Structure 1
Amino acid sequence: MDDATEVAVRAGREGDLAALTEIYNEYVRATPITFDTEPFTVEARRPWLRAHPEHGPHRLFVAEDGGRILGYATSSAFRPKAAYSTSVEVTVYCAPDAGGRGIGTRLYEALFEALSAEDVHRAYAGVTQPNEASVRLHARFGFRPVGTYREVGRKFGRYYDVAWFEKDLGAGRG
């Protein structure tokens, strides 16, 4: 039986913020997957949530099972300059005990389905190395490696590389 069958994927909302912040903070505190080094308060994370409305290219989807948030996926502005508006950076985070259940796959399916209706041409993902699970997830969704920033971030007393991946979304050709 698929462990993700009871999981509902939906647009994120304000009431999810505490759970989303806690999931992210686990990665801040315990892993180099994010280069944030200090955990966020819920209030400090609120602008991030509000930057992901229910419609448009910058989206937030959550996976929920029995009222518990198991993970989330976002598409965000790739860069702030106007000419980058048809590109997004995507990411997915799952609760530490929710890995291996297909949650990341379900979240990305919802995110990319929503993005197919938007004027978005490319999606980019930065993956701190090593992270084979994330590399496999992105490859499964058609991302191709485009380069690696060597020793670009320092956390927990060591330097980490970030591999960058690109996915053609096909829109915005005009």
Structure 2
Amino acid sequence: MEWWTHLWLNEGFATWVSYLAADRLFPKWKIWTQFLDEITEGLRLDGLTESHPIERSLASYIKQYACSNANTEDLWAVGEKESGEPVNKLLNSWTKQKGYPVVSVSVKGNKLEFDQLFKINVDQTGFYGVKYDDELAGRLRYAIETNHLSATDRFGILDDSYALSMAYK
């Protein structure tokens, strides 16, 4: 490792791979629910497995840097090459700024209508918090009261609400 600022890269991959291996070997353990503790703590002090660009990027990154030291910018460069997206610009706020991103969700007039349940960050798979507008928060409250959300999603809504209340106090 070139410098301590890139320690998150080594430790992040090691942690993620340990959970991935446990899930593959022992699916009944539901290890990703246990991973919530790790994510929540991280939010207080990275996408989906179905995302093919990230899988290609990670495979290329691991192949290219398997026997050498790499830094954050190396990972972003491989991501940009594989996806064609400005990864460095998009992800610097996640690695170089204090805190974590908050995604705000709102309904503007009649432009968006949700007839079914709507929740961002299903099963807390993304490393970000969500701030809902009053209308969507009301819908989620009803979904919670009628037991239409998993325990993981209920936890996520509660944790996001708590984190936002602490940030704005």
Which TM class, normalised by the smaller chain length?
Answer: under 0.3
TM-score by length of 2: 0.25
The structure richer in strand per residue is: 1
TM-score by length of 1: 0.25
The structure richer in helix per residue is: 2
| Larger Rg computed on CA atoms | 2
